[in-house]
Chain A
Amino acid sequence: MATVLEVSVRVGRRSEAVLLVFACAISLGARAFVDANAGGGIGASFGVYAIAVIALAVAAHMVVRLRAPAADPILLPAAFALTGLGLAIIRRIDFAYATRDRVTHFADTQEVWALVGIVGAMLVIGLLKDHRLLRRYTYTAGVLGLVGLMLPLVPGVGREVNGARIWISLFGRSLQPGEFAKIAFVVFFAGYLVSNRDTLALAGPKVLGIRLPRPRDLGPLLIVWAAALLVQVAQRDLGASLLFFGLFVAMLYVATQRISWVIVGLALFAVGAVAAGTIFAHVASRYDSWLHALDPSVYDSGRSYQLVQGLFGMASGGLFGTGLGNGSPGLVPYAESDFIVASLAEELGLTGLMAVLALYLVVVQRALRTAIGVRDGFGKLIAVGLGFSMALQIFVVVGGVTRVIPLTGLTTPFLAYGGSSMIANWIAIAILMRISDLARATATDAPLRGSTAAGLGRPPVKVDAAPFVDAAPFVGAAPDADTDTDTDADTDQEVTR
Chain B
Amino acid sequence: MNEPIRRLSAVVLLLFLALMGAGSWVQFVKSNQLGEDPRNVRTLYKQFGSFRGPIVVEGQSIVSSVPVNDPFNYQRTYANGPLYAPVTGYYSIGPGRSALEATENGLLDGSADALFWTRLGELVAGTEQQGASVELTISAAVQQAAYDSLGDKQGAVVAINPRTGAILAMVSTPSYDPSSLAVHSSGESNRLYQSLVSDQTNPLINRAIGGDTYPPGSTFKLVVAAAALEAGYSPDTVINAPQELALPLTSATIKNYGGERCGPTDQITLLEALRVSCNTAFAQLAMDLGWPAVESMAANFGWGSGLDIPLKVTPSRLPDSPDAPQVAQSAIGQFDVRATPLQMAMVASAIANKGELMKPYLVDKVRDPDFRVIEQTKAERLSTPMSPDTAAALTVMMQAVVNQGTGTSAQIDGISVAGKTGTAETGLDTPPHTWFVAFAPAENPTVAVAVLVENGGDIGNEATGGKVAAPIAKAVIEAALANAAGGN
| A interface residues (Cβ-Cβ under 8 A, vs B) | 96, 99-100, 250, 253-255, 257, 294, 299, 308, 311-319, 327-328, 330-331, 345, 349-350, 353-354, 357, 360-361, 364-365, 368-369, 371-372, 377, 380-381, 384, 387-388, 391-392, 394-395, 398-399, 402-404, 474-476, 481-482, 485, 488
Q: Can you show 9 pairs from A to B with CB atoms below 8 A apart?
A: A318-B28, A331-B71, A380-B1, A388-B12, A391-B16, A395-B18, A398-B19, A398-B23, A402-B25
Residues on A with beta carbons closer than 8 Å to the beta carbon of B31: 315-316, 318
Q: What residues on B are CB-neighbors of A254 within 8 Å?
A: 1, 4-5, 8
Residues of chain B from 43 to 65 with CB closer than 8 A to chain A in the complex: 43, 45-46
Check A371 against B39 for contact (C-beta < 8 Å). no
How far apart sit A277 and B10, CA to CA, in the bound complex (Å)?
29
**A100-B71 in contact (CB<8A):** yes
Bound together, the chains give a CA A240 to CA B4 distance in angstroms of: 24
Q: How far is the CA of A327 from the CA of B1 in the complex (A)?
A: 47
- Cβ-neighbour of B9 out of A99, A354, A365 (below 8 A): A365
Complex contact B19–A402 (CB within 8 A): yes
On whether A485 and B22 interact (CB within 8 A), knowing A312-B42, A316-B35, A392-B15, the answer reads no
Are A357's CB and B19's CB within 8 A? Answer: yes
A365 contacts B12, C-beta separation under 8 Å: yes
In the A-B complex, list the 10 residue pairs whose CB atoms are closest, starting with the nearest.
Answer: A315-B34, A482-B2, A402-B22, A350-B27, A312-B40, A474-B9, A368-B9, A254-B4, A395-B15, A316-B42
Main secondary structure of the interface of B (DSSP, over half): helix
B419 to A: closest C-beta gap in Å: 56
- CB contacts (< 8 Å) of B69 on chain A: these are 99
Chain B residues, Cβ within 8 Å of A371:
1, 5
Residue of B whose beta carbon sits closest to that of A360: B16
Q: Which of B143-180 contact A (CB under 8 A)?
A: none
Are B71 and A99 neighbours in the complex by a CB distance under 8 Å? Answer: yes
Choose one: A96, A311, A391; the contact of B12 (CB below 8 Å): A391
**Smallest Cβ distance from A278 to chain B, in angstroms?**
26
Q: A255's closest neighbor in chain B, by CB?
A: B1
Give the residue name and chain of the B residue nearest to A308 (CB).
Answer: B39
Contact B70 A312 (CB under 8 A): no
CA distance A47 to B70 in the complex (A): 27
- Docked CA distance A433–B25 (Å): 35
A403 neighbours in B (Cβ, 8 Å): 22, 26
Q: B10, B22, B30: which contacts A399 (Cβ < 8 A)?
A: B22
A327 neighbours in B (Cβ, 8 Å)? 42
Q: Is B373 part of the binding interface, using a Cβ–Cβ cutoff of 8 Å?
A: no
User: Bound complex: CA of A377 vs CA of B2, how far in Å?
Assistant: 10
Per-position 1/0 for B95-121, Cβ under 8 A of A: 000000000000000000000000000
CA distance A371 to B9 in the complex (A): 11
Chain A residues whose C-beta falls within 8 Å of the C-beta of B123 in the assembled complex: none
Contact at A475–B26, with CB atoms within 8 Å?
A: no
A289 to B191, CA, bound (A): 30
Contact A488 to B9, CB < 8 A, known contacts A314-B23, A315-B34, A399-B18: no
Taking the nearest CB of chain B, how far is it from the CB of A299, in angstroms? 7
- Specify which chain A residues have a CB less than 8 angstroms from the CB of B70 in the assembled complex: 99-100
User: Would you give the shortest CB distance from A438 to chain B, in whole angstroms?
Assistant: 16
Cβ–Cβ < 8 Å partners of A395 in chain B: 15-16, 18-19
Check if B24 is an interface residue, CB within 8 A of chain A: yes
In the bound complex, CA of A450 to CA of B26 (Å) = 56
Closest residue of A by beta carbon distance from B34:
A315
Chain A CB within 8 A of B20 CB: yes
A197 to B, closest residue via Cβ: B1
Which residue from chain A places its CB closest to the CB of B49 in the assembled complex? Answer: A328
Q: Contact check, A328 vs B39: say whether CB atoms are below 8 A apart.
A: no
| Alpha-carbon distance A314/B28, docked complex (angstroms) | 9
Q: How far is the CA of A391 from the CA of B12 in the complex (A)?
A: 7
Residues on A with C-beta less than 8 A from B6 are 372, 474-476
| Bound Cα distance A253, B8 (Å) | 9
**CA of A349 to CA of B23, assembled, Å:** 10
The answer to whether A357 and B8 touch across the interface, beta carbons within 8 angstroms, is no
Bound CA–CA A371/B7 (angstroms): 13
Give the distance in Å from the alpha carbon of A476 to the alpha carbon of B9 in the complex.
11
Q: What residues on B are CB-neighbors of A360 within 8 Å?
A: 16
Q: Are B2 and A372 in contact (CB under 8 A)?
A: yes
- Indicate if the CB atoms of A399 and B19 lie closer than 8 Å: yes
Q: Is there contact, CB below 8 Å, between A328 and B28?
A: no
A330 to B71 alpha-carbon distance, docked (Å): 9
Taking A311-B26, A403-B26, A475-B10 as contacts, is the C-beta distance between A485 and B3 under 8 angstroms? yes
Query: In the bound complex, do residue B5 and residue A294 qualify as a contact, i.e. CB atoms below 8 Å apart?
Result: no
Instruction: Given contact pairs A254-B4, A388-B8, enumerate 14 new A-B contacts (beta carbons under 8 Å).
Output: A250-B8, A254-B8, A299-B39, A315-B31, A319-B27, A327-B42, A345-B27, A353-B27, A357-B20, A365-B12, A372-B5, A474-B9, A475-B6, A485-B3
Contact of B23 with A350 in the complex, beta carbons under 8 Å: yes
CB distance B5 to A368 under 8 Å?
A: yes
When distances are taken between beta carbons in the complex, the residues of chain B under 8 Å from A384 are: 5, 8
- Closest approach, in angstroms, between the C-beta of B7 and any C-beta of chain A? 8
CA distance A360 to B20 in the complex (A): 12
Contact B12 A368 (CB under 8 A): yes
**How far apart sit A257 and B6, CA to CA, in the bound complex (Å)?**
11
A319-B28 contact in complex given A394-B19, A402-B19, C-beta closer than 8 Å: yes
Q: Which residues of B contact A350 (CB under 8 A)?
A: 23-24, 27-28
CB B81 to nearest CB in A, in angstroms, measures 25
For B1, B24, B26, B43, the residue with the greatest tally of chain A CB atoms inside 10 Å of its CB is B1
Is B23 within 8 A of A354, CB to CB?
A: yes
Residues of B within 8 A of A349 (CB): 27
Structural contact, B27 and A317, CB atoms closer than 8 A: yes
Contact flags B448-472 to A (C-beta < 8 A → 1, else 0): 0000000000000000000000000
- CA A223 to CA B71, docked complex, whole Å: 52
Q: Which residues of B contact A369 (CB under 8 A)?
A: 9
